[in-house]
Chains A and B, each alone.
Chain A
Amino acid sequence: MKKKMVHIPMPWRYVINAAAIAVIFLIFMVLSSAGVITNYYSKILMLIGINMILAVSLNLATGYLGQLPLGHAGFMAVGAYASGIFMRTASGLPTGLAVLLSIIIAAVVAGIFGFLIGIPALRLKGDYLAIITLGFGEIIRVVLLNIDSVLGFNFTYGAASLKNIPKTTTFTVTFLCVVVVCFFIHTMMKSRQGRAILSIRENEIAAESCGIKTTYYKTMAFVASAAFAGVAGSLYAGYLGILNPANFGFMKSIEILVMVVLGGMGSMIGSLLSATVLSALPEMLRAFSDYRMVAYSLLLILVMIFKPSGLMGTYDFSFTRLFGGLLGKKTGDSTVGKESGE
């Protein structure tokens, strides 16, 4: 049985989504000006936003493309350092412009690294791709740590940390970035390119024999994934104001992977939700911190054994569908709605 829905024409879908996002934003703004969201909570919200971007960007490579890169933190690091180094020198520019530029620079630099790493790495499959990206991630960290001693001047400041980065990341900037990144990935996946990417996940050989340029689309998805990780890195640099290569180790990559796997590989709403829960949880349950990593690793194993598709599967939430569903009910159709589990 199919749920009856009122079909909403295309331009209206955008309007509904835009309105819904604006309402959410306004709610946060009102809460924040009313003093309900204090400095501390807005910091947590920013962290959630950054993790959301990381999760959806990795989801692009893991969930949609079906590859398992284990060096996502490396791209985040590249973006963070690119943005941090830029912001330290861009004190002359107006803040808004500097922030915008720093995010773009971070995305571009991380994207370039994604391209350089993706070209050789994507020739390999499965386990080899995982291990080679892990290797690249580690190399990025080692280079950030030691490049200064080779260059002979201070560039990343290595272990001493890149300090004095202006703290420009605000809730508004983070919110906008999350919206833009999600919008971009969403439209990309609904397009011809997106379908090509999904077909590679389902069966690469079949896709190739259908004339899909697999290398091209794999590289494209991989580069986009890296670039968005760079955006998250840029926000992180402006959030903390101090960068140390140790923050971008293998552990960080795994943390992002847990978010994606738990939420459901191939589900954007799943990634967003699990990023929220997994970022907020340790703050709420500080006493739980000893057991956090044990719980994460158990979750990974249990989810894989009992529900390999993750908590949300490949289900994607859509305002328009919700809206359409509600309208459908109002017009008096008594069809019992089946769970929209596509």
Chain B
Amino acid sequence: MSVLSTVVSQFINGLQSGSVYALIALGYSMVYGIIMLLNFAHGDIIMVGAYLVWITMSILGLPPAVGIIAAIVGCALLGVFIEKIAYTPLRKSPRLSLLITAIGVSFFLQNVAQLIMGAGSKTMPTIVSGPNVRLGSVNLSFVAIVTIVVALVSMAVLTILVQKTKMGKAMRAVSEDMGAAQLMGISVNKTISFTFAIGSALAGIGAVLYSCAYPQASPTMGGMLGLKAFVAAVLGGIGSIPGAMIGGFAIGVLEAFVSAVGLSVWKEGVVFAILILVLLIKPTGIMGREIKEKV
């Protein structure tokens, strides 16, 4: 293999993992945009999604389509459920309380999964399969192509949803000013729940794509994945849909090249260093807007 084709291969590796980061980052970004909460449990929703795929396909023996639908619907419901149980009672509390609750929810999901499913990982069944494609000397795996395409389509659909529909307008209004939106007759509770549902459904899609690429489900898989996706969201500019996309791809490609030059063990360090730099130099991220602090 030539150096160039190795570089191209690595780039595609990066785009593939970046697609998953981008989908998860969207969920973070939307939730943060609307209630200013860093939803720590978002990564663990992906874990639940992966287990749902595993249960429907490996235990119940149902076809992949059912597994995919189970993951997306299950994640959306779980997201709304968490929001109702744990976050709604705290909407008026200090941000610190909300954040600690989110950490609590994250740990709760991880540990319950560990109790029920065991600490070891479960091998995922094959969800999609197809032949590898060769472009010159570059090896393109089928899974990589599917992952990237699905991620791009999901984001296009989401953009239309937020920009063109009534619910999307309500979401934007609530994130702009919750009180004013309420006065305009928008149901804030419904809108927030809807945001959680959409964000978590995206996490469900992310879970399916992740399971295609890395066919193992384990209770702690959501932790680091979620954090990196959060970094992607911050890098892209929190609250911005194209920003989350750009951030996700950037983190994925960066990781791939850091690993490729033999610094894989410093990968996490580099990701967090990027976060720190972004927050210090341009806290609003690449696509973010300036938010003035209200006194």
Residues on A close to B: CB < 8 A?
62, 66, 68, 70, 120, 123-124, 126-128, 130-132, 134-136, 138-139, 142-143, 145-146, 149, 205, 250, 254, 257, 261, 265, 290-291, 293-294, 296-301, 304-305, 308
Which stretch in B16-24, B71-79, B188-196, B271-279 binds the other chain?
B271-279
Given A254-B107, A301-B108, A304-B90, verify A124-B100 contact (CB < 8 Å): no
B275 touches A135 (CB 8 A): yes
Judged by a CB distance under 8 angstroms, whether B176 is at the interface is no
Closest beta carbon of chain A to B173's beta carbon, Å = 23
Question: Which residues of chain B are within 8 angstroms of A68 by Cβ–Cβ distance?
Answer: 96, 99-100
Which stretch in B137-145, B203-211, B261-269 binds the other chain?
B261-269
In the complex, what distance in Å separates the CA atom of A130 from the CA atom of B100?
10
In the complex, what distance in Å separates the CA atom of A68 from the CA atom of B273?
19
Chain B, 22-69, CB within 8 A of any chain A CB: 32, 36-38
Given A132-B275, A297-B104, verify A304-B97 contact (CB < 8 Å): yes
B273 touches A139 (CB 8 A): yes
Given A131-B38, A143-B269, A301-B105, verify A205-B99 contact (CB < 8 Å): no
Residues on B close to A: CB < 8 A?
32, 36-38, 86, 89-90, 93-101, 103-108, 110-112, 114-115, 223, 227, 230-231, 234, 265-266, 268-269, 272-273, 275-276, 279-280, 283, 293, 295
A301 touches B38 (CB 8 A): no
| A-B residue pairs in contact (CB < 8 Å), sample of 22 | A120-B276, A130-B99, A131-B38, A131-B234, A131-B275, A134-B227, A135-B272, A135-B275, A145-B265, A205-B293, A261-B100, A293-B114, A297-B105, A299-B104, A300-B103, A300-B104, A300-B107, A304-B98, A304-B100, A304-B101, A305-B86, A305-B89
Q: Which of B37, B93, B108, B275 has the most CB of A within 10 A?
A: B108
Question: Which residues of chain A are within 8 angstroms of B93 by Cβ–Cβ distance?
Answer: 304, 308
Closest beta carbon of chain A to B57's beta carbon, Å = 27
In the complex, what distance in Å separates the CA atom of A265 from the CA atom of B107?
20
B100 touches A205 (CB 8 A): no
A131 touches B266 (CB 8 A): no
In the complex, what distance in Å separates the CA atom of A118 from the CA atom of B210?
35
Closest beta carbon of chain B to A203's beta carbon, Å = 9
Question: Which residues of chain B are within 8 angstroms of A205 by Cβ–Cβ distance?
Answer: 293, 295
A132 touches B276 (CB 8 A): yes
Chain A contact residues, majority secondary structure: helix
In the complex, what distance in Å separates the CA atom of A290 from the CA atom of B118?
11
Closest beta carbon of chain B to A275's beta carbon, Å = 17
In the complex, what distance in Å separates the CA atom of A145 from the CA atom of B223?
20
> Nearest CB to that of A119 among chain B residues?
B280
B111 touches A126 (CB 8 A): no
In the complex, what distance in Å separates the CA atom of A308 from the CA atom of B95?
11
In the complex, what distance in Å separates the CA atom of A76 from the CA atom of B268?
20
B103 touches A142 (CB 8 A): no
Question: Which residues of chain A are within 8 angstroms of B99 by Cβ–Cβ distance?
Answer: 68, 126-127, 130
- Can you list the 8 inter-chain pairs with the closest CB atoms, starting with the nearest? A300-B104, A135-B272, A297-B107, A297-B108, A127-B38, A301-B104, A293-B111, A294-B111
B107 touches A123 (CB 8 A): no
In the complex, what distance in Å separates the CA atom of A290 from the CA atom of B127?
32
